[in-house]
Amino acid sequence: MKNISLYIAKRYIFSKTNTNAVNIITSIAVCAILVATAALFIILSVFSGLEKMNLKYYSNVNPEIKISPAKGKVLDSTTFIVDVLKQQKDVKAFSKVIEEKVYIDYRGKQDIAYLKGVDENFTKVTRLDTVIYGGQYLDFNRDDNFIVSNGIAERLQLYIDPITPADLMMPKAGTGLIKQESDAFTQKDAYSIGVFMLNEQYDKHIFTTLNLAQELLQLKDNQSYSIEVKTTGKKSLNEVKNELKKALGNQYKIETRQDLDSAFLKVMNMENLISYLIFTLVIIIACFNLAGTIIVIILDKTKEIQTMKSFGLTRQNIRNIFFFTGLIITSIAMFTGLLIASVIGLLQMNFGLVMASETIPFPFLFSIENFITVILTVLGLGAFVSWLMSRQVK
């Protein structure tokens, strides 16, 4: 047998006999929920796109596995670690790395940056060479060159300059009275030969050769701060991590990419959650229009309610009519909002309507999780408000 409550509810929504005021109020409720639904879906999709884009950028420079000393900063000798890594079948490549703060002076402009010294194998471990948009990658045949981030390049006007070197200075380790500048700093002249663009984390980075970094820090040839590893991909990173722990021992700290990116992922998830809660609040506010619409329809149908009672409909049947009325309004608004948001997303993906920077549009990522989240949120709130208002039928 046909559900009489649902049938009457559909007649109420799509009937042309409703008064003009009821139609206007219903349209306002639909528009409010529609806009809130579209906004929620767009913001979730943009955050999903940003997370994917940032993880992609991170994967270009962050290694799959990083080996560093458990205590202190310097690996006093990398010989043992190199021998172990060469014996590991799941290790495809590895690179020695030094990371330290450095003072840059270029044509009277100064800045403090993060210097990362790498060896020739670094591009086998990461894809740093793919994010260079001007100049070239490091030249390992000489130790007086570096590549600079777009941020530092803009601040110091230090782009590609094979003629005028930048002055790189790093504090010397040790104690004692400093009588002159050379006692406090090691200093090297180096030339900028390329500019790379990544995310904000690498906005103050420069990359140079491992030999230059060792000279600035006065380290030996077999010393570095860490060794970064790329696996064959046949096993999970955690499995390879556990195997390396057994082979190397406890004097080394071994971190996977997930460990290195954990802070970024936590921030992104927190921002995503806050945005979801804010726009859920917007949907709740929009549902006040739905509540008002249902109340107006109940008042408008007072005589019909009495008639339905005389025909034998129970109070629950009549309440269900207005519950289904609210649910239908919510569903129409929600699916229309999702459709509009999807069209906006496709336009953004193909034409870059809104730009995150001069060259990069805001990313938009369609995902099943976002669709399900929006549908459950909007339908859940709409159903609750509809049920609450339908209780007003006495």
- Of the chain, the end-to-end C-alpha distance in Å amounts to 26
Residue whose token pair is 């990461």: 126
Q: Cα separation of 294 and 288, whole Å?
A: 10
Q: Cα separation of 260 and 66, whole Å?
A: 8
**194 dihedral zone (left: phi>0; alpha: psi -120 to 50; beta):** beta
Strands 91-106 and 145-149: unpaired
- Give residue 210's pLDDT band: very low, low, confident or very high (50, 70, 90): very high
pLDDT at 224 over 90: yes
Q: Cα separation of 352 and 359, whole Å?
A: 10
Q: Cα separation of 278 and 116, whole Å?
A: 40
Q: What's the rounded mean pLDDT across residues 24-40?
A: 93
pLDDT at 173 over 90: no
- Give residue 1's pLDDT band: very low, low, confident or very high (50, 70, 90): very low
| 170 vs 2 pLDDT, higher one | 170
- Give residue 203's pLDDT band: very low, low, confident or very high (50, 70, 90): confident
Q: Cα separation of 366 and 372, whole Å?
A: 11
pLDDT at 185 over 90: no
pLDDT at 200 over 80: no
Q: What angle do CA 210, 215, 218 make, to 5 degrees?
A: 115
**Model pLDDT, residue 215:** 94
Q: What's the rounded mean pLDDT across residues 344-351?
A: 95
The mean-pLDDT minimum among 41-45, 261-265, 309-313, 388-392 falls in 261-265
Query: Cα dist. 271→44, 50, 264, 268 in Å?
Result: 10, 11, 11, 5
In the chain, the percentage of residues whose pLDDT exceeds 70 is: 94
pLDDT at 254 over 70: yes
pLDDT at 181 over 70: no
Give the model confidence (pLDDT) of 264-321 as tens digits.
Answer: 778 888 988 999 999 999 999 999 999 999 999 898 888 888 888 888 888 899 999 9
**Model pLDDT, residue 149:** 94
Give the model confidence (pLDDT) of 124-134 as tens digits.
Answer: 999 888 889 89
209: helix, strand or coil: strand
Residue 377 one-letter amino acid = T
The mean-pLDDT minimum among 9-23, 101-115, 241-255 falls in 9-23
Give the H or E element holding residue 20: helix 20-61
Please state, as a whole number, how many other Cβ atoms lie within 10 Å of the Cβ of residue 204: 17
What backbone torsions phi and psi does residue 294 show, to the nearest 5 degrees? -65, -40
| 17 vs 75 pLDDT, higher one | 75
Burial of 100 (0-12, 13-18, 19+ CB in 10 A): middle
In the chain, the percentage of residues whose pLDDT exceeds 90 is: 70
Q: Cα separation of 56 and 79, whole Å?
A: 32
Q: What's the rounded mean pLDDT across residues 48-62?
A: 78
- Mean pLDDT, rounded, of the chain: 90
Q: What's the rounded mean pLDDT across residues 208-217?
A: 96
- Give residue 8's pLDDT band: very low, low, confident or very high (50, 70, 90): confident
**Model pLDDT, residue 198:** 79
Whole-angstrom Cα Rg for the chain:
31
- Give residue 331's pLDDT band: very low, low, confident or very high (50, 70, 90): very high
Task: Using alpha carbons, select from 333, 328, 261, 267 the residue that is nearest to residue 294.
Answer: 328
Tell how many helices (H) and how many strands (E) occur in the chain.
Answer: 13, 10
Task: Give the tokens for residue 52.
Answer: 């994917």
Task: Give the tokens for residue 315.
Answer: 């109070």
pLDDT at 178 over 60: no
pLDDT at 174 over 80: no
The DSSP secondary-structure symbol of 362 reads P
| Biggest CA pair distance of the chain | 104
Strands 132-135 and 185-196: antiparallel
Q: Cα separation of 32 and 282, whole Å?
A: 9
